[in-house]
Amino acid sequence: MSRLVRFGISLGEDLLARFDELVAARGYASRSEAFRDLIRASLVEEEWRAGGEVAGAITLVYDHHRKDLVNRLADIQHDAHGLVVSTQHIHLDHDHCLEIIAVRGRAKDVRRLADSLRSVKGVLQGAINMASTGKKLG
């Protein structure tokens, strides 16, 4: 970890009060910890925008009775085997499955994969969690 540096921030009282509420609501130990998290979240957003190497998770909810859909999702993942790190399948109930697909690769490719998975007919919900390889967050 790099050396800690202190610096001051000028902030309106109202905004600071709202920030303190956020710090408390989310259970941060200090303003600094909350602020570091906000900075890292912005850096991750920028990683995704800039199109470099990212990591994340694609989540899908779908009806498992539709075998054509299940096969299609598997085909798409096989075609993108370089991006897919692992897939976890959870049987939510009698009808529904949740799939969590861990991905790593270029942001553009990961987005394209997520779009092609969630646009398959019968997928009830699809989302992408934009995480980071962590290399630039130290």
Please list the residues that pair with 86 across neighbouring strands: 102
Of the residues 55, 84, 97, 103, which one makes contact with Ni ion according to CB under 5 A? 97
Q: Which of residues 11-40 bind Ni ion (CB under 5 A)?
A: none
State the minimum distance, in angstroms, from the CB of residue 91 to Ni ion: 4
**Of 18, 91, 135, 136, the one binding Ni ion by CB under 5 A:** 91
Residues 69/123, Cβ–Cβ less than 8 Å: yes
| Cα–Cα separations (whole angstroms), residue 101 to 37, 94, 115, 118 | 24, 21, 13, 12
Min separation Cβ 73 and Ni ion, Å: 11
Q: Is 65 in the site for Ni ion (CB under 5 A)?
A: no
Nearest residue to Ni ion by CB is 97
C-alpha angle 62/64/67, rounded to 5°?
A: 115
64 forms part of the interface with Ni ion (CB under 5 A): yes
